[in-house]
Amino acid sequence: VQLQASGGGLVQAGGSLRLSCAASGRIFSRSTMGWFRQAPGKEREFVAAINWTDGSTSYADSVKGRFTISRDNAKNTVYLQMNSLKPEDTAVYYCAADVYSGSYYPATALRMYDYWGQGTLVTVSS
């Protein structure tokens, strides 16, 4: 499975961006997909995830109500719509695939994810 993230950029506080992650391979439709981020000098952290069965989602408290994760299995793509962006959202955003756990509940732990994209930089100016 190869993952290609895109859509990052520079945006002012309060603005919006939509990230996309295109996946190769036939197992995308049976993988939980997640978004993580890593700010300079900080550890990578969970942002959002969506399972492959019924689209159940999970969000970090810091982004609830502002970010929305979705997926299009026909296009092998997962999205992260980010609204009301804040300077503290500045980070490199990574998409990841949990291929093997088969868990119904979208995983929030990094160790549950088997494949990672290269990251896309989001910069939010104040």
Pair 125, 70: CB distance under 8 Å: no
The rounded distance, in Å, linking the Cα atoms of 108 and 46 is 6
pLDDT for the residue numbered 104 = 86
Please report, in angstroms and rounded to a whole number, the separation of the first and last CA atoms in the chain: 37
pLDDT digits over 81-108, tens only?
A: 999 999 999 999 999 999 988 888 899 9
pLDDT digits over 13-45, tens only?
A: 999 999 999 998 777 888 999 999 999 999 999
DSSP letter at 14? T
Q: Among residues of the chain, what percentage have pLDDT more than 70?
A: 100
Q: Among residues of the chain, what percentage have pLDDT more than 90?
A: 87
The rounded distance, in Å, linking the Cα atoms of 26 and 61 is 32
pLDDT for the residue numbered 117 = 95
Backbone phi, psi, residue 109, to 5°? -90, 135
The rounded distance, in Å, linking the Cα atoms of 38 and 13 is 18
pLDDT for the residue numbered 36 = 98
> In the predicted model, what is the mean pLDDT of the chain?
95
Residues paired with residue 33 on neighbouring β-strands, in sequence order: 50, 97
Q: What is the mean pLDDT of residues 97-122?
A: 93
Q: Residue 4 pLDDT more than 80?
A: yes
Separation in Å, CA 33 to CA 27, 42, 77, 95: 11, 22, 9, 7
Q: Looking up tokens 């997909």, which residue turns up? A: 33
